[in-house]
Structure 1
Amino acid sequence: MASVRRASVRICLAVLAVLLATVALPIGRPAAHAAPSLPTVEPGVLTVGTEGTYSPFTYHVNGTGPLTGFDVDVITDVAEKLGLRVKFVESNFDSLFPALEAGRFDVIANQISYSADRAAKYDLSEPYVQTASVVVARSDDDSIKSVGDLRGKTAAQSLTSNYAQIAQSAGAVVEPVSGFDTAIQLLKAGRVQATVNDELTVKDFLTRTDDKSVKIAATTPDVSRQVFAARKNSGLIPAINTEITALRDDGTLDKTYAKYFDATDRAPSTWSVVRSNLVPLLKATVTGTIPLTAISFVIGLAIALGVALARMSSRRIVSSIARLYISIIRGTPLLVQLFIIFFALPELGIVVSPFPAAIVAFSLNVGGYAAEIIRAAILSIDRGQWEASESLGLSRWETLRSVILPQAARTAVPPLSNTLISLVKDTSLASTILVTELFRQAQIAAASTFEYLALYSTAALYYWVICLALSFAQIRLEVRLSRFVAR
């Protein structure tokens, strides 16, 4: 077994080298300041975090157009006045502040409401617009006439928004959601009884969709002052405040406000929305989902082989490390692993770009699950195969490579295929760490058009086609490998 141990060591070293190269290549480090008074993540660039799914503040028209919205236009005008190029990074709302703290972008422009708690933790700009907060209920529900009527009722809210605090203060039971679009869907389905949000956002939704199933049931006494948020002591907010004042004085803010909040456009038909999103969804599949799956699976298999051989090692410390790795990977959720790599590691100075971070997390996850599959497949081969190969003068490594692994592969193909198919679907979790893949593209389109059933069904169809193709490939591969079966 000495040669097997040496082989396992070589494989582990090779896998480690690949992972280090994958992580190190796109690592982002704090760049030099664009100007002494304007320290930004990238020189000459104002990197802005936003949802891209929160109409009319930040959204894509029909889900296919460029990023637009009131907040998008205002921060773009601010950046131009500062002499900076603006770059937007899209994420769901609950990930915006962790990503800001991790140095993923300079400011958040996403209808952030001022609060004392936020001001204590972040640099907040002066308000660029003020809005009222409203309670939304089903049209057939007359039990809510004021914010006080929320007591004991269930309200769908994003936990990091100030609207969640309003609902909680009123005595509501808060059901966590990712954003306004999800809250509205839960409300319409009768899963919750209310949601609190910005009046302008709600009126925009009612105007564009002409939805009669929900209504504005009450207005809260709270006035939301919308601000831009940056990291504490960022040095950016004084300059941003100067330009907000300039935009207000020259009338630009009023024109931008009228552009988005005085419009009466109606949403397009369901079929036109689906048709216009077929290509963007396919593009996200080809450039996001499929590469994430393929790269992660290949690296994950390499990790799995090394871990499987280490798990079989007669050296106790080597096998113990392998067992610990498998236990950690299988004992923790993939989403938590993603968040640790993307949001937590920056606290240690390790900043990995979104796509490579997803690859690292998925590869390590595949390695943990596939290691036991490969180990079981190797152990299923009769011990006599090793002895026969040894009598023919083959070394342990030659036996493993030429005799054992080809036969073990046939046994391992079905469970490994299941792992691959699961990985295809698991890539949807990458949407939580700023990766625009198939599901994230469907979210973007659905959030701006409110065509959830049609667009999510279309995304599901894309996933199904990929998995169907993999299932056919599995059958072909099993037939091909059947020639390695000992007769």
Structure 2
Amino acid sequence: MTFRSHALRRSMTLPLLILTMLLAVMAGSTALASRADAAPAISTIEPGVLTVGTEGTYTPFSYHVNGTGPITGFDIDVITDVAKKLGLRVKFVETPFDSIFPALEARRFDIVANQISYSAERAQRYDLSDSYVESAGVVVTKSDDNSIKSVNDLRGKTSAQSLTSNYAEIAKSAGAVVEPVPGFDQAITLVRQGRVQATVNDELTVKDFLTRTGDKSVKIAAKTPDVSKQVFAARKGSGLMPAVNEQITALRSDGTLDSTYAKYFDATDRAPSAWSVVRQNLVPLLKSAITGTIPLTAISFVIGLAIALGVALARMSSRRAVSSIASLYISIIRGTPLLVQLFVIFYALPELGIVVSPFPAAIVAFSLNVGGYAAEIIRAAIESINKGQWEAAATIGMNYTTTLRRIILPQAARTAVPPLSNTLISLVKDTSLASTILVTELFRQAQNASAATFQYLALYSTAAAYYLVICLVLSFGQSNLETRLRKFVAT
């Protein structure tokens, strides 16, 4: 009996074990399925990371505290909360507003969080989320200007606007002459200085400005009749918005949106004094110059000189095809603005499948630009050397390359140093354009700080002082180099 009962228990245990395993597998599958439904797979540029495009200079939606701290703001907090609920890390990419949609289309980031207003035109071109906050548009004028009491009074007036914003369309529709500016900071400054009569912008942004600065020189003169719905934007067909909308609804339901709104729009903090802002930003500005402006200048100039030497020699070639190609390159570089060259490399090439990161893209653009301008300087310096030098070298058996390296270029260097130094100094200042393609350098850091504190004069003057110091050091180096080169000239 004992043996039979033991055998019977063993025979019953095996089916029960198999049944238990099957139930466990089914339960696990169900759990995985429910988890997948709760957190659907989202396609992003970088796996597990939601890359967000934003200005970083648009208080109180996207800015840096005192210009030195981490990026913060209403939009920053909302998109960060959305990403957390989606199980994604957040990576912010800062860019001027007028460049934000070209950068989105060039796949520089997944989504834009920068107080984007809903419009039918945008909805046709991009995937837009549900609205997470609504606000009215307002017309801002000087305090002593009583000629504008409604939007219709903008007819014939000059209004400072970012051309890619909805508010520019409102101003145009009212008959205003639109003065293009990069963003709100520049627009409100032009109104304060009396250079334009008005600007149309978001009510929350304007009220935050008035609260923080206590500025009495401007006022809200009128409200626009429409209510602006703020949304996130992604590339058409991205598939992001269903998941994003679900989390916006969740944030609204649990009260997170209300608390975030109160954090930024019920605040009464005033901007710090100019001196305290400058003192806080001296080191960050210096760091941006050392890690951004100076390396960008040095690398681009060295590569540009190598390009320039090759192009100059090609330009002097007796082969017509070679000299023609060199001439065409120089004509293209000198005939197009540097800013356009930066945009072509950074924003246009991705349409051909060529994606270059911000810093390397800036190096490519600046190097090609230096190569085009410096090529003519080097060519002129080489041609200034008496032809007898070439003939004398040939009589002692030197070939072309040896003659160029040992005889011609050392003498041409003395002639080329002053104009090449001017090119280098111009390059230092031109690096400020790199901020338009997401490179954080000296000028971009000054923009970040001024946007958060509204101390434009103090911070831009500080940035200008840094540029001046760098250029003075280079001028001193040029003078010393010229003195050394004169020692080898026969008198």
Larger Rg computed on CA atoms: 2
Q: Secondary structure at the match of 2:109?
A: coil
SS in 2 for 1:384: helix
Q: Is the 8 A contact 2:154 2:174 kept in 1?
A: yes
For 2:90, the aligned partner's letter is: V
Q: What amino acid is the match of 2:352? A: L
Q: Is the 8 A contact 2:160 2:198 kept in 1?
A: yes
2:258 aligns with: 254
> What's the CA shift string for 1:56-79, capped at 9, x where partnerless?
111111111110000000000000
User: Contact 1:59–1:444 at 8 Å: present in 2 too?
Assistant: yes
The reply on whether 1:207 has 2:211 as its aligned counterpart is yes
Which residue does 2:270 correspond to in 1?
266
Cross-structure match for 1:379: 383
CA–CA distance in 1 between the matches of 2:489 and 2:127?
Answer: 66
Q: Percent identity?
A: 82
Alignment root-mean-square deviation, CA: 0.9
Q: Is residue 189 of structure 2 the alignment partner of residue 185 of structure 1?
A: yes
Please, which of 236, 242, 246 is the counterpart of residue 240 of structure 2?
A: 236
Aligned to 1:79: 83
Contact 1:406 1:481 in 2 (8 A): no
Q: State how far apart, in whole Å, the 2-side matches of 1:169 and 1:343 are.
A: 30
Count of aligned positions:
453
d(CA) in 2 for partners of 1:426, 1:311? 26
Please say if 1:280 is aligned against 2:280. Answer: no
Match of residue 7 from structure 1: none
- How far apart, CA to CA, are the structure 2 residues paired with 1:482 and 1:234? 63
- Code of the residue aligned with 1:277 in structure 2: it is N
C-alpha distance in structure 2 between counterparts of 1:431 and 1:83, whole Å: 31
Unaligned segments of structure 2, at least 5 residues = 1-38
| CA–CA separation in structure 2 for the residues paired with 1:307 and 1:290 | 25
Find out whether 1:341 has 2:350 as its counterpart: no
- Misfit runs of 4+, over 6 Å: none
Q: What's the counterpart of residue 324 of structure 2? A: 320
Within the alignment, does 1:290 sit opposite 2:294 as a pair? yes
Question: C-alpha deviations, 1:156-194, integer Å up to 9, x for none?
Answer: 000000000111111111110000010000001111000
Tell me if the contact between 1:406 and 1:484 (Cα under 8 Å) persists in the aligned partners.
Answer: no
Deviation, 1:390, is 1.6
Alignment of 1:401-440 (within 5 A): 401-440=405-444
Shift of 1:37: 3.4
- Helix, strand or coil: the match of 1:104? coil
| Cα distance between partner residues in 2 of 1:429 and 1:84 | 32
Deviations 1:259-286 (A, max 9, x none): 0001100111110000001011001100
Structure 1 residues 3-34: Cα deviation after superposition (integer angstroms, max 9, x where no partner)? xxxxxxxxxxxxxxxxxxxxxxxxxxxxxxxx
Q: State the AA in 1 paired with 2:221.
A: A
SS in 2 for 1:374: helix
Q: Work out whether 1:68 is the aligned partner of 2:105.
A: no
Contact 2:271 2:453 in 1 (8 A): yes
Q: Quote how far apart the aligned CAs of 1:463 are.
A: 0.4
- Which among 196, 207, 225 is matched to residue 221 of structure 1? 225
User: What displacement does 1:124 show?
Assistant: 0.1
* Aligned partner of residue 223 in structure 1, secondary structure: strand
Deviations 1:275-310 (Å, cap 9, x if unpaired)?
001011001100110011000000000000000000
Contact 1:311 1:320 in 2 (8 A): yes
Is 2:40–2:243's contact at 8 Å kept on the other side of the alignment?
Answer: no
Q: Distance in 2 between matches of 1:172 and 1:482?
A: 61
* C-alpha separation in 2, matches of 1:425 and 1:196: 32
| Aligned mates of 2:50, 2:385 — CA distance in 1 | 59
Pick from 146, 158, 161 the counterpart of residue 154 of structure 1.
Answer: 158
Determine the C-alpha separation between the residues in 2 that align with 1:44 and 1:161. 31
Choose the corresponding residue for 1:116, options 117, 120, 124: 120
Match of 1:470 in 2: 474
Alignment partner, residue 360 of structure 1:
364
Letter in 2 for 1:393: G
Which letter maps to 1:329?
I
Asked if structure 2 preserves the Cα contact closer than 8 Å seen for 1:37 and 1:236, the reply is no
Alpha-carbon distance between aligned partners in 2 of 1:36 and 1:153, rounded to the nearest angstrom: 50
Q: Is the 8 A contact 1:410 1:481 kept in 2?
A: yes
Q: Give 1:16-55 correspondences, 5 Å limit.
A: 37-55=41-59
- Aligned mate of 2:310, from 306, 313, 316: 306
Return the alpha-carbon distance in structure 2 between the equivalents of residues 450 and 269 of structure 1. Answer: 10
Distance 1:117 1:461 in 2: 44
Tell me which amino acid in the other structure corresponds to 2:489.
Answer: V
Aligned residue identity for 1:171: G
Partner SS state of residue 53, structure 1:
coil
> Which residue identity lines up with residue 79 of structure 2 in the other structure?
I
Note the C-alpha offset of 1:155.
Answer: 0.4
1:195 is the counterpart of 2:199: yes
Structure 1 unaligned residues grouped into runs of 5+: 1-34
Q: Which has the higher contact order (CA 8 A, sep 6+)?
A: 1
1:459 aligns with 2:463: yes
Shift of 1:222: 1.1
